[in-house]
A and B are shown apart, each in its own frame.
Chain A
Amino acid sequence: MLHTRELAVLASAATVLSLSLAACGGGGSPSASGTAPSGKTIILITPNPVGTDSFLQLGVKGAEAAAKEIGASFKLYESKDPSSIAQNVDAAVRAKPTVVVGISFSFDDVFSTVPKQHADQRFLEIDSCPKAQPSNLTCVSFKEHEAAYLAGVEAGLLSKSGSLGVVAALDSPFIHRWIDPFFAGAKSVNPSSTGTPLYVGGSNPFSDPARAKSQAQTLIGRGADVVAAAASGGNPGVFEAAAAGGAKSFGVDVNQCALSPGNVIDNVIKHVDVAESAAIRDIAAGKAGGVKVYGLAEGGVGVNALDADVASSGCTVAASPEVIAKVKQVRDDIVAGRVTVADPLAG
């Protein structure tokens, strides 16, 4: 009896151990691809497992593209939590790659100190920048608020009730870049329009479609006929609610129109891959340091309505050429500085 019991304890302990390793993945199990005759390497570190996030998928795509162009090998370190981010950065620095790339604001802390200790290593942070930026750290950030404003213009023109909503993951300053400018854009074309944000929250705010759907239903129930999604993995839940309630929605980061045909007007696009590979190319060519900001002018953000192939995008805005014309005009105004979009992060 004792024997089987011990066996069972061992078996279950071993199960837990192997499973936690399998489930975490990160913290030191890098996956590599490609070979590098040049000896150049790019290491990309993500704050979360990539699978949960279209944004991180774009980050991987951009780093892979840049690696191919400059003939470097590419390695991906996926982190599971803040402590594994620091461990992954340590491991990356020890490998002495051409550049260590960190993606998202989760790296602000580590990248404000670690680059100073490794002065001859070059670092790149995508989508954020620490307050005290070391000289060997390059930052890439985006003006998401400019694209969200354009989406708001479309919403203002297409909404019949003038009542708009946004279902966002969390009530945080960064996420407000998808909320406040959206409502401001709508107000610029329809001064009487009103906007209400609701937040997913809970224990898994970035991947809880059930709660996201519930929030969208609440907004639609109160008269909103355009409900934009800014809930990451919860976005499809918002689209479902819109489809069932006769409302329209907006996607984020990538073209999500095909997820719910006929119900998504457009997307607030962020060309993370484009900006990231450009920055990596610059660093490899010796142009390191500073902050590179990608807005509408640089083509780093946008909406599908601006693309030449909008007709095949599956987005419903394609059926409204007058809206597309207006969006292009507002884009030109923003690029020329005639319209300034307030940045919720700056306020």
Chain B
Amino acid sequence: MNVLDPAFAASVLTATAPVVLAALGGLICSVSGVFNMALEGTLLWGAFVAVVASHLTGSAWWGVAAAVVAGVLYSAVLSVLTVTLRADAVVVAVGLNLLALGLTAFLMREILGVGGTYTSPDLRGLPTLAAALGRVPLLGPVLGPQSPLVPVAFALVVAAAWWLRRTRSGLRLRGAGQHPEAAASLGLRVAAYRHGAVMAAGALCGLAGAQLALGNVTLFSEGMSAGRGWVAVVAVMLGGVRPYRVAAACLLFGVAEALGFRLQGAGLPQQLADAAPYLITLVALVLAASAGRRRRAGGGVVIARKDRGGR
């Protein structure tokens, strides 16, 4: 068992891609000052719409486009209820997560005519990069089996980091989150920025769902998000509002999952391999908390600056 072979790296990227897309959505919401816990439901909804659209149009890319639009519309419910009507974001998110589970199961029977799992040899999945990269050393075996959305996911992390730090609208979004009253007094339309952030998260979750249902596999099964949206929520809590940290947290999960698979093959009991991602989360949370304490105890000026940039 070689842990550092390209196939291992490929399986890490496959496992991470949907999570990192959803987490990026959660991060943008969190920057704008909205706690988005509905990632799981939106991801599942996106996966369902992607499969239905691909089934109806015969094109995976229409599936992706439909999933993005559907994700935005689904998130609009969260944004209207929480930003405009000031409902509790957690309560609405719980509702949206449950709705996605029930609604996709129901619509699956109505539209696709089956329950449980929908798959068909005619269902179009996303193409892989094998044709483009198959012969490139190192990159070929790692990225070759992936859909084009996988590199896009990681590119979006870089784009988000640049956007939040270097652009005017990024700065305003951070202002809306960190000090809404001050931002509003300077003429910033805080609500508009928050609406935008929640809907952007919807688009990203739609993309995540499309990658899960048309990239990782080519099928839809009830509840197939299987906690990936929750992992994304945890990644946002771990990484705060820093895109690279959130991406690193997602990658940690991907590594833990892929490593768990490998360790199972080497004789580790499945139950223990299952616990690996959660154990790693716990360890990471404890380490992050103690590192935070050390920083606070360290010295005033540095912390203040960091805190302004970060929280």
Contact = CB atoms under 8 A, between A and B. Distances in A.
B119 A259 contact: yes
B300 interface: no
Chain B's interface size range is 35 or more
A282 B223 CA distance: 38
Contacts of A16: 91-92, 94-95, 98
Given A4-B86, A12-B91, A171 B102 contact: no
A50 B115 CA distance: 8
Interface residues of A, number: 54
A15 interface: yes
Contact of B91 (A4, A13, A214, A260): A13
A12 B269 CA distance: 43
Contacts of A201: 260, 270-271, 273-274
Contacts of B216: 210, 213
Given A11-B87, A214-B11, A51 B92 contact: no
A53 B226 contact: no
B222 A51 contact: yes
A297 interface: no
Nearest to B92: A12
B99 A52 contact: no
A233 interface: yes
B261 A214 contact: yes
A207 B221 contact: yes
B87 A236 contact: no
A22 interface: yes
Given A4-B86, A214-B15, A52 B115 contact: yes
24 contacts: A5-B86, A8-B86, A11-B85, A22-B99, A23-B98, A23-B102, A50-B115, A51-B109, A52-B222, A170-B270, A201-B273, A201-B274, A209-B217, A209-B219, A209-B224, A210-B212, A210-B224, A214-B11, A215-B264, A217-B7, A233-B117, A240-B217, A240-B218, A259-B120
Interface of A: 4-5, 7-9, 11-13, 15-16, 19-20, 22-23, 25, 49-54, 57, 170-171, 196, 198-199, 201-204, 207-211, 213-215, 217-219, 221-222, 233-237, 239-240, 259-261
Interface of B: 7, 11, 14-15, 81, 85-88, 91-92, 94-95, 98-99, 101-103, 105-106, 108-109, 115-117, 119-121, 212, 216-219, 221-224, 226-227, 257-258, 260-262, 264-265, 269-271, 273-274
